[in-house]
Structure 1
Amino acid sequence: MTLRVSGLLLILLGLTFWTGHALQLIPVHETLGFVLVLSLWTLAFFAARAGVATGWVVLAVVWGLVAPILGLAQERLLTGDWHWTIQVLHLLIGLGAIGQGEGLVVRMRRRAASEQMRAA
């Protein structure tokens, strides 16, 4: 739930920034970004404990590292007319982080259901 709510707020704030409004809320956006990453890592921890394939867990952890690095560095990357490409990449990385978290939850639920079927 935290991942979804923070993700939705991040998207809304990001779109607001793209229109040139509410730029004073960028620190709020950054904080929410860290909340999203911590949520993703928490899900990765529980997914690992639930027996989700290591590759999915590692991907989520690495994705969680890339997202804030790109987010914090984006103002210095490819400035000028092509900066929009970095902004789009930042959006896609953020959407990917939300998707990674959702995917981990699905895999944990499938694994739990599979174990229940075996136990029955």
Structure 2
Amino acid sequence: MLAVVKKPHIEVRAHRIPGALIIFMQETYKPENVEIKNEESTSWEETDLFKIRFDDSTPGEMIFASRDMRGWSLAALAEKLGKSAHYVSDLENGRRPVSRKMAVALGKIFECDSAIFFEFS
């Protein structure tokens, strides 16, 4: 997938772009200034991600997207965290909850607000 903000020029490329990131881009830079494309060249409105709201992005989706946007493998992130690739996979796929300590560690590694890795329900 590719998300592009026309002005200022920002490109986000990832296999999956979380709905939270797309909504943030649209709210920050106006929807008409944001262009979304996927591999099949289907219009953004026809994709499943169009229907996802910020609250629907899971911590695992946010970990995957953050890792994927940097081109890091599971093993690379696991090494940075001092964990196994299996552990990181469990986090990404929702088989293991993200603890407060892990969310803080992810925030430091990805240089972002650790709150995006918390489950607020």
Structure with the largest fraction of helix: 1
TM-score computed with the length of structure 1 as normaliser? 0.27
Structure with the largest fraction of strand: 2
TM-score computed with the length of structure 2 as normaliser? 0.27
Q: 1 or 2 for the larger relative contact order (CA 8 Å, sep ≥6)?
A: 1
Q: Which has the larger radius of gyration?
A: 1
